[in-house]
């Protein structure tokens, strides 16, 4: 099936190509996912201080577009190069992020590209139906994103939809537990000081510009 779907990436129909990309991106061992991992190696470096050093792709070449990378963003607030990186992350195998001592999301500093990385992880977890990653996102980074987005109802609504899509990967009992944890997290007082708020705004502006 992998070979058949790979052939469909060159089909004349955009819809056929889109479906082929979606199916291949759900298979971490597919050639498409491995090519995305190779691209990530050029953009992501794991630093000893638990920081991810991220550089944005310089171009969206023909090979990237054949693999389903859209050159132009389909949403406001994100620049072209950040958009390319987000799409690469979303189609790369989540195993790429594993380190010898494990990978705990909350322990890594994502820097100015945090939202781009998290959005990519979320879609990758959905595509690969990876409950471990979905659970980590729901218990850690996504609640923080919602807290940071409380000031903007449109962004907040998007964050809630992200949570709902990840919860759908679990049984009802697991959904209930995860939802309770999320609500308890959101019930805690926000402690964003002025510097943190300004840093968040600057990061959003940077994402939109690149």
In the chain, where are the structural domains located?
A: 29-209
Q: How far is CA 181 from CA 123, 161, 164, 188, in A?
A: 21, 17, 14, 11
pLDDT at residue 153, rounded to an integer: 44
Assessment of whether the complete model's pTM goes beyond 0.75: yes
Confidence band for 86, pLDDT divided at 50, 70 and 90: very high
Average confidence (pLDDT) over 152-180:
75
Computed over every residue of the chain, the mean pLDDT equals 82
Average confidence (pLDDT) over 52-72:
96
pLDDT tens-place string over residues 184-195: 766 665 554 444
pLDDT at residue 178, rounded to an integer: 82
pLDDT at residue 74, rounded to an integer: 86
Residue 16: count of CB within 10 angstroms of its CB: 13
Query: Which among 4-13, 46-55, 137-146 has the top mean pLDDT?
Result: 4-13
pLDDT at residue 181, rounded to an integer: 78
Give the residues across from 45 on adjacent strands: 53
Query: Bigger pLDDT: 97 or 150?
Result: 97
Average confidence (pLDDT) over 197-206:
54
Among 1-5, 51-55, 144-148, which is the least confidently predicted range? 144-148
Distance between CA atoms of 106 and 56, rounded to whole angstroms? 22
Q: How far is CA 148 from CA 44, 159, 176, 194, in A?
A: 25, 10, 23, 12
Q: Where are the beta strands (DSSP E) in 43-164?
A: 44-46, 52-54
pLDDT at residue 48, rounded to an integer: 85
pLDDT tens-place string over residues 19-52: 999 999 999 999 999 999 999 999 999 888 888 8
pLDDT at residue 13, rounded to an integer: 95
Distance between CA atoms of 24 and 27, rounded to whole angstroms? 5
∠ CA 78-81-86, nearest 5°, is 70
pLDDT tens-place string over residues 108-120: 788 889 889 988 9
pLDDT at residue 126, rounded to an integer: 94
- Helices and strands, counts by H and E, the chain: 11, 2
């Amino acid at each position: 099936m992998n070979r058949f779907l790979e052939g469909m990436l060159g089909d004349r129909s955009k819809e056929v190509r889109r479906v082929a990309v979606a199916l291949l991106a759900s298979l971490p061992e597919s050639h498409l996912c491995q090519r995305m991992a190779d691209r990530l190696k050029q953009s992501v470096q794991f630093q000893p201080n638990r920081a991810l050093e991220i550089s944005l792709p310089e171009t969206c070449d023909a090979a990237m577009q054949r693999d389903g990378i859209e050159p132009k963003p389909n949403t406001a607030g994100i620049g072209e190069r950040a958009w390319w990186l987000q799409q690469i992350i979303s189609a790369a195998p989540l195993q790429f992020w594993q380190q010898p001592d494990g990978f705990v999301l909350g322990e890594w500093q994502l820097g100015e590209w945090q939202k781009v990385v998290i959005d990519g992880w979320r879609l990758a977890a959905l595509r690969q139906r990876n409950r471990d990653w979905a659970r980590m996102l729901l218990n850690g980074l996504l609640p923080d994103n919602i807290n940071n987005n409380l000031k903007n109802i449109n962004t907040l609504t998007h964050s809630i939809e992200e949570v709902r899509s990840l919860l759908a990967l679990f049984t009802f009992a697991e959904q209930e537990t995860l939802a309770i944890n999320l609500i308890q997290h959101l019930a805690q007082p926000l402690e964003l000081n002025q510097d943190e708020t300004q840093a968040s705004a600057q990061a959003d502006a940077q994402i939109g510009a690149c």
